[in-house]
């Protein structure tokens, strides 16, 4: 400790003498007003010193034994020391970087310059990564007398590089295809998922996106490029023809990003939606099955056929009857008569509010078809206004028995059934 303090005192005294000598030289040179070159030298010296003092780079000068004789404010700020004069450079390096210091000394003395990276220990004990560039200061005879160094804090640069590595790892391992293209569509970057999705591998770089999407999607892609040119994001679905010839649907999201040189690039995210499309098709098919099942249930409910005896069935109709339902009435009635071997079919229209020509013709056709099967149609539930409509329409109900109420029709059918059984018993 005493030795260090002694060196510091010695250096300070030496610096004081040098400052005094500089002042004497400046005064001497200033007294010779006719010596323009001397005045210029003084101004250049002052300008150079001002430049070093104000420089944002950390700059120091050390003797050949490594003791610092000068440090500008930026170097003091970097290290956290108020004054570095008299401190050995080795005190600012981490222990594991001592071999680096020794190698640097040899290189700079042999070659005149030396540059490398290491870690600098600050006054609070923390270490920061640095890049150091040194060169030799020589006297008029060319002998080395000191070493000057510039120190650059690499913390921000290394953090940026680490973020870049993390980003590259994230992109390369992303499940979605990620690519970068210019505005002509030429691929300049593609991650692993993108190369796998298209099946082209490394050949994808340099290809044009229009080379592997179907021609049917070219117009959609051109519209997307127009949106991107306006600074808008683009969302679209395209079909990609893989290297093996297979075609797969893909959802694409694209936006524009400017490079540091001001060039506009297209960044795109693509996802294979084949499974999604299959699920949608399956869901659509299931929906159609549900709709058909519902329609069948509705048809059954809208045209129910109920057996009321061994020889008679009844079909109560409710609501409006259009052409599709009229045909359904005929089909259901014929199938029911054939299945139950009915001799009488009661069609009750109590719940039918409107009977027009279409309904009347449907009833007539149903009766005629049933008669071909050997059965009789009984039309029940005819209200007075319906009777008037049928008369005004001139509809002939020939071959159809009619009753005013369902009860009467059912009684007629049951009576006919009982009579058949009695005649059979005889």
Q: What is the pLDDT of residue 192?
A: 93
As separate numbers, helices (DSSP H) first and strands (DSSP E) second, the chain gives 12, 15
- Give me the number of domains the chain comprises: 3
Structure tokens at 373: 């099967």
Q: Do 151 and 16 have their domain in common?
A: yes
Q: Is residue 250 part of a domain?
A: yes
Query: What SS3 class is residue 200?
Result: coil
Among 258, 276, 294, the domain boundary falls at 276
pLDDT digits 0-9 by tens, 203-216: 999 999 888 999 99
pLDDT digits 0-9 by tens, 227-267: 888 889 999 999 999 999 999 999 999 999 887 777 889 99
Q: Do 311 and 187 have their domain in common?
A: no
pLDDT of residue 20 exceeding 50: yes
Q: 388-392, long-range: CB within 8 Å, 24+ apart, which pairs?
A: 389/355, 389/356, 389/360, 390/355, 390/360
Q: What is the pLDDT of residue 27?
A: 60
Report the candidate in 297, 355, 359 with the shortest Cα–Cα distance to residue 322: 359
Q: Of all residues in the chain, what percent are helix, strand and coil, respectively (each to 5)? A: 50, 25, 25
Report the CATH number that the domain containing residue 234 is assigned in CATH: 3.30.450.20
Give the least confident one: 4-8, 85-89, 194-198, 284-288.
Answer: 4-8
**Mean pLDDT on 335-357:** 85
**Mean pLDDT on 369-396:** 82
Rounded to the nearest angstrom, the gap between the alpha carbon of residue 177 and the centroid of all alpha carbons in its chain is 10
For the chain, first and last CA: distance in Å? 143
Give the least confident one: 31-40, 90-99, 322-331.
Answer: 31-40
* Percentage of the residues of the chain whose pLDDT score is greater than 70: 83
Report the candidate in 183, 220, 178, 218 with the shortest Cα–Cα distance to residue 198: 178
Query: What SS3 class is residue 216?
Result: helix
Reported confidence tier of residue 17, pLDDT bands at 50, 70, 90: low
Mean pLDDT of the chain: 82
Report the CATH number that the domain containing residue 326 is assigned in CATH: 3.30.750.24
CB 368: neighbour CB atoms within 10 A? Answer: 14
**Mean pLDDT on 260-279:** 87
Q: What is the pLDDT of residue 10?
A: 60
pLDDT of residue 390 exceeding 50: yes
Among 158, 191, 222, the domain boundary falls at 158
Give the least confident one: 258-272, 318-332, 370-384.
Answer: 318-332
**Mean pLDDT on 86-107:** 77
| Residue range of the domain that includes 307 | 303-425
Rounded to the nearest angstrom, the gap between the alpha carbon of residue 200 and the centroid of all alpha carbons in its chain is 22
CA distance 218 to 134: 59
pLDDT of residue 281 exceeding 60: yes
Cβ atoms 353, 386 nearer than 8 A: no
Rounded to the nearest angstrom, the gap between the alpha carbon of residue 49 and the centroid of all alpha carbons in its chain is 56
Q: What is the pLDDT of residue 64?
A: 87
Q: Is residue 365 part of a domain?
A: yes
Q: Is residue 293 part of a domain?
A: no
Q: Is residue 281 part of a domain?
A: no
pLDDT of residue 157 exceeding 50: yes
Q: Is residue 248 part of a domain?
A: yes
CB 369: neighbour CB atoms within 10 A? Answer: 16
Q: Is residue 72 part of a domain?
A: yes
pTM tops 0.75: no
Reported confidence tier of residue 2, pLDDT bands at 50, 70, 90: very low
Q: Do 79 and 6 have their domain in common?
A: yes
Q: What is the pLDDT of residue 188?
A: 92
Q: Is residue 296 part of a domain?
A: no
H-state helical runs in 357-405: 357-372, 384-393
HSE value, Cβ hemisphere, 13 Å, CA-based, for 162? 6
Q: Do 59 and 6 have their domain in common?
A: yes
Q: Do 138 and 45 have their domain in common?
A: yes
């Amino acid at each position: 400790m005493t030795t260090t303090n002694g060196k510091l005192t010695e250096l300070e005294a030496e610096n004081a003498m040098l400052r005094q000598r500089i002042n004497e030289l400046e005064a001497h040179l200033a007294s010779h007003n006719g010596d323009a070159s001397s005045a210029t030298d003084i101004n250049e010296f002052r300008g150079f010193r001002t430049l070093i003092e104000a420089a944002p780079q950390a700059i120091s000068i050390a003797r050949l034994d490594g003791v610092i004789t000068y440090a500008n404010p930026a170097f003091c700020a970097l290290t956290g020391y108020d004054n570095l004069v008299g401190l050995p450079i080795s005190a600012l390096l981490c222990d594991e970087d001592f071999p680096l210091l020794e190698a640097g000394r040899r290189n700079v003395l042999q070659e005149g310059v030396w540059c490398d990276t290491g870690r600098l220990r600050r006054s609070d004990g923390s270490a920061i990564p640095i890049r150091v560039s040194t060169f030799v200061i020589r006297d008029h005879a060319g002998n080395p007398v000191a070493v000057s160094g510039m120190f650059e804090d690499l913390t921000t640069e290394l953090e940026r590089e680490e973020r870049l590595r993390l980003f590259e790892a994230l992109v390369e391992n992303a499940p979605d295809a990620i690519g970068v293209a210019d505005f002509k569509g030429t691929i300049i970057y593609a991650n692993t998922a993108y190369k796998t999705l298209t099946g082209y591998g490394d050949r994808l770089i340099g290809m044009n996106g229009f080379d592997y999407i179907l021609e049917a999607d070219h117009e959609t892609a051109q519209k997307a490029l127009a949106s991107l040119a306006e600074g808008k994001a683009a969302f679209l679905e395209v079909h990609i023809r893989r290297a093996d010839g297979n075609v797969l649907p893909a959802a694409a999201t694209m936006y524009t990003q400017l490079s540091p040189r001001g060039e506009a690039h297209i960044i795109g995210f693509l996802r294979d939606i084949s499974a999604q499309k299959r699920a949608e098709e399956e869901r659509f098919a299931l929906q159609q099955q549900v709709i058909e099942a519902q329609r069948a249930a509705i048809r059954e409910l809208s045209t129910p056929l109920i057996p009321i005896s061994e020889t008679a069935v009844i079909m109560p109709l409710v609501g409006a009857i259009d052409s599709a339902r009229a045909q359904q009435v005929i089909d259901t009635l014929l199938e029911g008569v054939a299945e139950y071997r009915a001799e009488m079919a009661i069609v009750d229209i109590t719940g039918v509010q409107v009977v027009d020509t279409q309904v009347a013709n449907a009833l007539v056709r149903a009766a005629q078809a049933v008669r071909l099967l050997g059965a009789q149609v009984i039309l029940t539930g005819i209200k007075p206004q319906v009777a008037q409509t049928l008369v005004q329409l001139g509809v002939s109900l020939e071959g159809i028995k009619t009753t005013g109420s369902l009860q009467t029709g059912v009684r007629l059918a049951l009576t006919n059934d009982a009579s058949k059984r009695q005649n059979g018993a005889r």
